[in-house]
Amino acid sequence: MAPRIVVAGSANMDLVGLADRLPRPGETVLGEDFVMMPGGKGANQAIAAARAGGDCVMLGAIGSDSFGVTISARLAASGVDTGHLRTSYGTSGVAVIMVDRTGENSILVSPGANRTFVALTDAEEAVIGGGDVLLCQQEIPSETVTAAAIAAKRGGARVVLNAAPAREMPSDLLDHVDLLVVNQSEAEAIAGTDADMARLLALVPRVVLTLSGEGSWYADRDGRDERVPAYRVEVADTTAAGDAFTGALAVAWGEGRDLVEAVRWANAAGAACVRKVGASSALPTRAEIDAVHHGG
């Protein structure tokens, strides 16, 4: 059976513009292509998990605007269970994303309805506790992430926290995290120094540090410490690579795979994602991940 992945996180509408280069402060650059699509780290990781083969349910909040309707429809069309997604009166979250021809990007997020995702209901806590893996990020209120992690541990689910974007985290949240997924800047924000794996492992039992084009670094308190190399592909857009990685990682761990092998497969998901422009539209299917993983 497919693992039950519960994502408690953000949902946005992404407004993506493509140009030869990113503008400097105060500068206007003439763009070329423009795409509008659902995104947000929570929604992206939910779609990534569903496409990677997980039985995924999304918990979060969308606005009462047309963006909210589109976000919900895209999630459902991607195989994500939206039956517990809240609708909050007002605007949905919005992300303005600029992408250059090398695939680098710059992102501004306005949280909108995501700010209202607080005070988990009994039904939401039951969904979380009934899952195999809870997957969270930091684009929703930290008290909600903490409450979700506590509910997961109470129900016996594993907790994966992608600590993005980087911000201070309460200790009672970290006390309930089974696997922390961070990039270098996020690791530095948590550890209070360079991306020090020992400091991170003093806070959580398992860590995956993503190293962009250099792959990933996995370590745990049992003494495993392994670098997992990246797959080499032609890069079109790096926007959702981290979300593809994290969603696939949650599925692979939920399936019972060894965590180093799970990280390797998640690297393939990130590589498959960056070959396309966009966020949710670029997230790979299980077949696409396997093709990269097996050298296709």
- Comparing C-alpha atoms, which of 141, 137, 139 is closest to residue 116? 141
Query: Of 225, 243, 258, 290, which is the active-site residue?
Result: 243
Q: How many structural domains does the chain have?
A: 1
What is the model's pLDDT at position 109? 84
Q: Which residues are annotated as a binding site for substrate?
A: 12-14, 40-44, 139, 243
Kindly state whether residue 60 falls inside one of the protein's structural domains. Answer: yes
Q: Residue 107: what pLDDT?
A: 85
What's the CA gap between 199 and 210, in Å, rounded? 16
**pLDDT string in tens for the chain (296-residue length):** 899 999 999 999 989 899 999 999 999 999 988 988 888 999 999 999 999 999 999 999 999 999 999 999 999 999 999 999 999 999 999 989 898 988 788 888 899 999 999 999 999 999 999 999 999 999 999 999 999 999 999 999 999 999 998 888 888 999 999 999 999 989 988 887 777 899 999 999 999 999 978 899 999 999 999 999 999 999 888 878 999 999 999 999 999 999 999 999 999 999 999 998 777 889 999 999 999 999 85
Bind-site residues for ATP: 183, 242-243, 267
In a domain, 140, yes or no: yes
Binding site as annotated, residues? 12-14, 40-44, 139, 183, 237, 239, 242-243, 267, 273, 276, 278
The DSSP line for 182-204 is EEHHHHHHHHSSSS-HHHHHTTS
Q: In this structure, is residue 246 part of a structural domain?
A: yes
Instruction: Examine residue 109 and state whether it is found in any structural domain, yes or no.
Output: no
With respect to residue 26, please indicate whether it lies within any of the assigned structural domains. no
- Which domain covers residue 60, as residue numbers? 4-11+40-91+114-293
Tokens in use for 256? Answer: 């019972």
CATH number, domain containing residue 222: 3.40.1190.20
Which pair of structure tokens corresponds to residue 8? Answer: 């408690």
The pLDDT, as a whole number, for residue 134 is: 98
pTM for this prediction: 0.92
Point out the annotated binding site for K(+): 237, 239, 273, 276, 278
3-state secondary structure of 151: helix
Single-letter residue type at 187: A
Instruction: Please report, for the chain, how many H helices and E strands are present, in that order.
Output: 10, 14
What are the CB-based long-range contacts (under 8 Å, 24+) for 80-84? 80/7, 80/43, 80/46, 80/47, 80/50, 80/56, 81/55, 81/56, 81/57, 82/58, 83/57, 84/57, 84/58, 84/59, 84/123, 84/124, 84/127
What's the pLDDT tens digit per position in 38-48?
889 999 999 99
Q: How far is Cα 266 from Cα 241, in angstroms, rounded to an integer?
A: 10
d(CA 167, CA 270): 23
Q: Are 13 and 44 in contact (CB under 8 A)?
A: no
Q: Which positions ≥6 away from 36 have C-beta within 8 Å?
A: 13, 14, 15, 16
Residue 22 lies in a domain: no
Instruction: Return the sign of the alpha-carbon dihedral for residues 147, 151, 152, 153.
Output: positive
Question: Would 20 be classed as within a structural domain?
Answer: no
Q: Judge whether 138 lies within some domain.
A: yes
User: What was the pLDDT predicted at 156?
Assistant: 97
| C-alpha distances in Å from residue 149, one per residue of 134, 144, 155, 190, 255 | 7, 9, 10, 18, 20
Tokens of 233: 């592909």
Catalytic site includes residue 122: no
